[in-house]
Amino acid sequence: MAAPPARSEPSTGHHRPRFSSLWLTATIPLVVGLVIFFIPAPDGVDASGMRMLGIFVATILGLILQPLPTGAVALVGLALAMVTKTMSAKQALAGFSNTTIWLIVASFFIAEGFIVTGLGKRIALLFVRAIGRSSLGLAYGMAVTDLVLAPATPSNTARAGGVIYPIVKSLSVLEDSTAETDESRKKLGSYLLLTALQVNVITSAMFVTAMAGNPLAVSAAEDKGIHISWGKWALAAIVPGVVCLIVVPWVMRKVYRPTLLATPEAPGLAREQLREAGRPSVHEWIMGATFVLLLVLWCLSDQIGIDATTTAFVGVAILLVTGVLTWRTLVTDTGAWQTLVFFGVLVAMADQLRELKVIDWVGDKVADSVGGLPWLVAFAILTLVYFYVHYLFASNTAQIVAMYAVFLGAAISAGAPPLFSALVLGFIGSLFGGLAHYSSGPAGVMYGSGYITTSEWFRVGFIMSVVIIGIWTIVGGAWMKLIGIW
């Protein structure tokens, strides 16, 4: 989730929430958590299971309502779990030794390399120069840029906000498309930003390391005996992902048509900025070579016996030794460290819920709701519910931690193929990020530009969700059948 994994932190400036608002957003999680906390444990669940569930649900609600910043909410939940003796200190802190979380942290550091060297911006400008003579061409240029950067950028918010958004904004202003009036914003900027958001959710679903919540889904699947390597995830996602990247900008131009179709000045602007940037620096070349090395090692992880986390830290080490990154850069990367705190707490809580048999109990209840149905029908219902319940979440990762294992267990109980179920639910964990203006970090970035109204977000987000679900169901389902996933 970016920093935090799937949603930007609230402003740390002088603005403070009103006391009444803070009281309300803090009271709701507390009350709900207390109600669950004191429910007697059902059969098959450890005596402290409902207490753990109450603290976990309260923490998730706190992450949604945010009476405090994300990391602070997580630490409050951690403290409550320890002081009530629901978790021992050792259990509560166990999540910080999770290798999956450190893979995400290391990947955040690698993503910094694209930004500090300017390589990410250079890649985007090269595509604008080549295919940016129309609004559709610009949209495809940003899509290809996002795709190139995605495998090593688990902060989808950094990818959208640090690389794509500044370029889209400058191109829009160049074409006299600003957020000041409806006529001006709809000229170009609104279309490009909405399209960039829908593209971002697709690229986030295509690679384990393209969105911070994906490795958590892989880890949860591993707990159920389902092994998903980096290469296996990428292979399963590549065909529906590429088809989506081809279709979505074109469909978006039909659904939300810009009034400016030709952008002849855009390649010239890109050419001028590339000229100002000069020849690629040594650090850019090192960053590019390191990126290629990481992709190769991640793809061959099963064959060479080097896990993804080790590979990521090899990449960080190379960038540190060569001076592409400095220790100060790593220390000041608040997104990475907030992710460590956020994930460390939630993963520890989720592990404890599993140990106490709460996850199995909830999964059985969900499975019972679709019991007796053919597995394809049951799976379709489960995936649609999992997708659209995201309207209630303001974070991809919060939903993945709270619900992925439950829905995966229910799908398997209904007879769905385990690997197929794990991958599809994993993809959905990114794909629902474009539903609303609060659904993910990149959505918050684009919405904050002022180019898109709230009603437009809900309308376009729902229409595009239908398009994306259709492509991943038909094309993705057929492709995964062809390669033996189910």
Q: Which residues contact 184 (CB under 8 A, 6 or more apart)?
A: 176, 177, 178
What is the pLDDT at residue 363? 78
Q: Tokens for 252?
A: 């978006």
Residues 231 and 192 in one domain: yes
Domain identity same for 66 and 147: no
- pLDDT for the residue numbered 131: 86
Query: Are 106 and 36 contained in the same domain?
Result: no
| Claim to verify: residue 152 and residue 58 sit in the same structural domain | no
pLDDT of residue 11: 35
264, part of any domain:
yes
Q: What is the pLDDT of residue 259?
A: 92
Strand, helix or coil at 263?
coil
Distance CA 109, CA 233 (A): 22
Q: Does residue 455 sit within a domain?
A: yes
- Is 49 in the same domain as 194? no
Coil, strand or helix at 297: helix
Residues of the chain with pLDDT under 50: 1-16
Is the same domain home to 51 and 112? Answer: no
Q: Is residue 476 part of a domain?
A: yes
Q: Which long-range contacts (CB under 8 A, 24 or more apart) does 121-127 make?
A: 121/163, 121/166, 121/167, 121/277, 122/274, 122/277, 122/280, 122/284, 123/148, 123/149, 124/163, 124/164, 124/167, 125/167, 125/270, 125/273, 125/274, 125/277, 126/270, 126/274
Is the domain of 165 the same as that of 267? yes
Residues of the domain holding 177: 99-483
Copy the structure tokens of residue 471.
């492509």
Q: Do 73 and 181 belong to one domain? A: no
Query: Into how many domains does the chain fold?
Result: 2
pLDDT at 258: 93
Residue 70 lies in a domain: yes
Q: Is residue 22 part of a domain?
A: no
Task: Say what the pLDDT of residue 6 is.
Answer: 37
Domain-located, residue 18:
no
Residue 388 tokens read as 């659209």
Same domain for 112 and 65: no
* Residues 174 and 219 reside in one and the same domain: yes
**pLDDT value at position 197?**
94
- 462/439 same-domain check: yes
pLDDT reported for residue 364:
79
Residue 392 CA, chain-centre distance (Å), reads 16
